[in-house]
Amino acid sequence: MAHDNSYTGQKFEVVGNRFLRPDGVDKVTGRARYGADANAPGQLVGLVLRSPHAHAIIKKIDTSRAEKMPGVKAVITSEDLPDLTGGDAGMAQTLENCMARGRAMYDGHAVAAVAAVDRQTAKKALQAIKVTYKKLPHVTDVDEAMKPNAPVLHPWLFTAGVDPKPEKPSNVISRTQMGHGDPEAGFAEADVIVEKSYKTEQTHQGYIEPHACLASVTPDGQAELWVTTQGPFTYRSVCATLLGLDIAKLKVTSSEIGGGFGGKTHVWVEPLALALSRKANRPVKLVMTRDEVFRATGPTASTSIDVKIGAKKNGTITGATLELRYQGGAFVGMPWAQLACMTGFACYDIKNQRSVGWDVVVNRPKVAAYRAPSAPMAAYAVESTLDMVAEEIGMDPVNLRLKNVAKEGAQAPYGPIYGPIGIEAALKAVKKHPHMKAKLKKGQGRGVACGFWFNIGGQTCVDLNIGTDGTVNLAVGTVDVGGARASMGMIAAEELGISYDDIKVVVADTASLGHNDTTEGSRGTFSSGMATIFAARDAINVLKERAAKMLDVPVEDIAWEKGEAKAVGKRYSNLPKLSLKEIARKSPNTGGPIAGHNEVVADGAGMGFAAHIVDVEVDEETGLSKILRYTVVQDAGKAIHPDYVEGQMQGAAVQGIGWALNEEYVYGKDGRLENPGFLDYRIPVASDLPFIDTKILEIPNPNHPYGIRGVGETSIVPPLGAIGNAIANATGVRMTHAPMSPVRVLDALDEAAGMDQKVSAG
Amino acid sequence: MQVSLNGALRAGANGAESIEIEAATIRELLTKLVERYPDMQDHMDRGIAVAIDGVIYRDDWTQKIPAGAEVFLMPRIEGG
């Protein structure tokens, strides 16, 4: 049954409150069961052998010694994973990324795996596998990979989107261009033009919980997978395809998740665990080490970006261009640079703009989504350059942004016209925020930057079952990455008119609910929220039918108000109201169980916009930039549970701060990752940071009954630009390479000082 | 009805910025698109979203397209 998803301005009694989180006790007492916490009788330990080379032909894999070792129950290579992808190039590359097929494409690429009775035996078995490699030239830098003399990773890769079509293969997957107007004409109108080039390094999502799973395949083709994932249904379909299993016979259960942020939207070791279990005929538990997580799961792209912005002295931007080069690792995956083309100028109404994206392969692990994928890097370049334009024309940087801000009716860089959006409101909130008036000392600086992310919806399915005592089970299929159980429970309580405490929400396994798309793209609350509203209304229709029977009146005369059914009309004035609990108690005798259900394609997601303010203090002796104060302003559409919304805004900002100041993959000349651990790849911890202040704006999404927009991703976008602007404000030096680590800041300060000396000497 | 193409999709339609197609639903629009421009199938396989008056539809092909609507085809995006 089709439902109207329009925003109605409904008044709320439950939504908007700050209830205790339902997973809190389990998580603080250690009861919560994560990916590595499941066990099965007779389970084996799975381990993976990985390439030590950045690029090499695998001439031979000799597993004979390992297979003969006592306690070793299975050894697999790519020969145990035949290509069943049926010509699906993307799926074939997923298979090859899970297990090398003749060539190791990056340091850490899996080449074999074992299952043994214990970890010690499994480790010895890995050591007993002899792999003969022939090293090949490698390239890990995006700009180097695009040069004509770069080692070519794939002889079949010819650049798409260029004219004429290339005759030789290269590492450039595709060229994408989008925009509108005439940027060159815009530059001709400009009073000032600023051009700048930037680089950003590769970062990892840094989820605390490594990838982990327990796989069990039986000889009759039945299989189960317990796994930490953002998308159990996607894992099910991908693993079923790669292993040749029937989708319905593979049951995937998502564990509690210790962070994902996009990195747990893709399969990495799960097909290997299933293949090992199938070969050993025993359950196999496979838990990645942190070293493996860094080397062989999906970090974000490293990039190289050129920006050109022209403006009139009054601040009007007349033209702007972006050239974006993004490496996606060793395989063709999502078009990351294309995404950046769509987001770079999205906060602004620029009549003449062009963004050109180049997607490139290098000898690094296959890139995965990371919270608003591709947007933070483009925003770093755009927001930094905007501050330089403001300085050139002597205008306040916030006023420059407000002068050009995108509003309803403006054309987005990717084409369509915006509906109601919140970036102007966010910038106005920034402008009047007390943070902007706080005094700064010498060596301190303040920066502001904006950010955009699309947000998405997608396929969604929920079940709502009412028990005979009137308490309610709600089964959702989007993983609880940031408050789904609390917010879905609140929405169900709101609709049914009952207490939040009477609702228990579970994340269902794949055998218990219809398909749900992966929890990504800030879709969880938007999509499952919509399905929960409709499922609850479906259940209310049943409740009204049962009440009609109990009261012996036509169902058309029954209304549902605040958790009670009542017969409407003077002739029914002597009839009692019936509560949900009363109707539920009688349900065995009025028709059986009472349930609501909904499956929906939740389209019409509302765009997410944010503006951030940051104060930094730069130590000019060490180059260390300390965050003194940080404020996030973001449009949530409607904050269902404000604590969780603020948590998303804070968490995203902190990840952006880490990206801006510390985090980067460091590759040696040998193409090997030199810092695959949290000691050398340093994410910010609580003691590094001040309290991250938040301000939630609520500009309703017209395409959701409650006005919900996604909130999970947008606030990772502004921090790089905001911090770059704050460092420039503190030191007078513009940083163009993220992370803006102490050594890079020192180099930039030294370079600036040297230039000053040259100027004064000259 | 005029249908605008995001830059990433134009190669599939011989470089056209916009095309004329009469369609009452997204399904009809995409079917006619591939009939007329077979090269668009590669983009379809990667995913195309349809923006109707600024609202992005990634999946619901039953969506009706009102007369006079602004229709924009763009790559179907995902997220983290």
The verdict on B28 touching A (C-beta cutoff 8 Å) is: no
Do the Cβ atoms of A453 and B79 come within 8 Å?
A: yes
SS3 A166: coil
- Residue where the block lists tokens 């994560």: A34
Q: What residues form DSSP beta bridges with A558?
A: A567
Do the Cβ atoms of B8 and A335 come within 8 Å?
A: yes
d(CA B34, nearest CA chain A) in Å? 18
Q: What does the angle CA B47 – CA B52 – CA B57 come to, to the nearest 5 degrees? A: 35
Which tokens sit at A713? 């991703």
pLDDT at A557: 98
The answer to whether A270 touches A213, Cβ cutoff 8 Å, is: yes
Alpha-carbon torsion (A275, A279, A281, A287), positive or negative:
negative
| Residue spans of alpha helices (H) in A405-523 | 423-431, 484-496
Do the Cβ atoms of A416 and B7 come within 8 Å?
A: no
Q: Which of A417, A456, A703 sits opposite B79 (nearest CB)?
A: A456
d(CA B68, nearest CA chain A) in Å? 14
| DSSP tag of A36 | G
CA distance linking residue A164 with residue A186, whole number of Å:
28
Do the Cβ atoms of A603 and B55 come within 8 Å?
A: yes
d(CA A606, nearest CA chain B) in Å? 8
How crowded is residue A42: how many other Cβ atoms within 10 Å of its Cβ? Answer: 11
pLDDT, tens digit (0-9, with 9 covering 90-100), for B18-53: 999 999 999 999 999 999 999 999 999 889 999 999
Do the Cβ atoms of A417 and B53 come within 8 Å?
A: yes
pLDDT at A759: 56
d(CA B56, nearest CA chain A) in Å? 5
H or E stretch including A75?
A: strand A72-76
The verdict on A234 touching B (C-beta cutoff 8 Å) is: no
Of A105, A55, A54, A143, whose CA–CA distance to A326 is shortest? A143
Q: Mutating which of A91, A452, A603 best tests the B interface, going by the most B Cβ atoms within 10 A?
A: A603
**Pairs across A and B, CB distance < 8 A:** 104
The answer to whether A557 touches A548, Cβ cutoff 8 Å, is: yes
CA distance linking residue A19 with residue A501, whole number of Å:
9
pLDDT at A397: 98
Q: What averages of pLDDT result for each successive group of 10 residues across chain A (762 residues)?
A: 88 97 95 98 98 98 98 98 95 97 98 98 98 98 98 97 94 96 98 98 98 97 97 98 97 98 97 98 98 98 98 98 98 95 98 98 98 98 98 98 98 95 98 98 97 95 98 98 95 98 98 97 97 98 98 98 96 96 98 98 95 98 97 98 98 98 98 98 96 98 97 98 98 98 97 75 52
List, as ranges, residues 594-623 from A with C-beta within 8 Å of B: 601, 603-605
Do the Cβ atoms of B79 and A459 come within 8 Å?
A: no
CA distance linking residue A500 with residue A487, whole number of Å:
10
Of B27, B18, B80, B19, whose CA–CA distance to B57 is shortest? B27
pLDDT at A275: 98
pLDDT at A1: 56
List, as ranges, residues 644-703 from A with C-beta within 8 Å of B: 703
CA distance linking residue A664 with residue A377, whole number of Å:
13
Do the Cβ atoms of B77 and A339 come within 8 Å?
A: yes
The verdict on B35 touching A (C-beta cutoff 8 Å) is: no
The answer to whether A47 touches A114, Cβ cutoff 8 Å, is: yes
Helix A397-404 with A423-431: angle, nearest 10 deg = 160
The answer to whether A186 touches A319, Cβ cutoff 8 Å, is: yes
Q: What does the angle CA A513 – CA A515 – CA A520 come to, to the nearest 5 degrees? A: 115
Do the Cβ atoms of B78 and A416 come within 8 Å?
A: no
CB-based burial label for A168 (10 Å; 0-12, 13-18, 19+): exposed
Do the Cβ atoms of B4 and A415 come within 8 Å?
A: yes
- Residue where the block lists tokens 């998405």: A456
Q: Which of A373, A415, A459 sits opposite B79 (nearest CB)?
A: A373
The answer to whether A627 touches A615, Cβ cutoff 8 Å, is: yes
Sequence-distant contacts of A555-560: CB under 8 A, at least 24 apart: A560/A497
pLDDT at A160: 93
For residue A6, what are the contacts with CB-CB under 8 A and spacing of at least 6?
A702, A703, A705
The verdict on A348 touching B (C-beta cutoff 8 Å) is: no
Q: Which of B6, B57, B63 sits opposite A414 (nearest CB)?
A: B6
Alpha carbon A203 to its chain centroid, in Å, reads: 13
pLDDT at A721: 98
Class of the CATH domain delimited by A24-32+457-602: alpha beta
CA distance linking residue A483 with residue A645, whole number of Å:
8
Do the Cβ atoms of B72 and A416 come within 8 Å?
A: yes
pLDDT at A761: 56
CA distance linking residue A21 with residue A29, whole number of Å:
14
Helix A270-280 with A232-243: angle, nearest 10 deg = 50
Do the Cβ atoms of B7 and A262 come within 8 Å?
A: no
Do the Cβ atoms of B75 and A338 come within 8 Å?
A: yes
SS3 A357: strand
Do the Cβ atoms of B77 and A342 come within 8 Å?
A: yes
Alpha carbon A512 to its chain centroid, in Å, reads: 25
Nearest CA in chain A to B74: A414
For residue A757, what are the contacts with CB-CB under 8 A and spacing of at least 6?
none
The answer to whether A583 touches A565, Cβ cutoff 8 Å, is: yes
Do the Cβ atoms of A369 and B79 come within 8 Å?
A: yes
ipTM of the complex: 0.93
Q: Which of A335, A418, A522 sits opposite B54 (nearest CB)?
A: A418
> Strand (E) positions, A455-562?
458-466, 472-476, 503-507, 558-561
Q: Which of A176, A205, A453 sits opposite B7 (nearest CB)?
A: A176
d(CA A459, nearest CA chain B) in Å? 8
Do the Cβ atoms of A604 and B55 come within 8 Å?
A: yes
In chain B, what residues touch A415 (CB-CB under 8 Å)?
4-6, 51, 72, 74
Q: Which of B5, B59, B79 sits opposite A601 (nearest CB)?
A: B59
The verdict on B63 touching A (C-beta cutoff 8 Å) is: yes
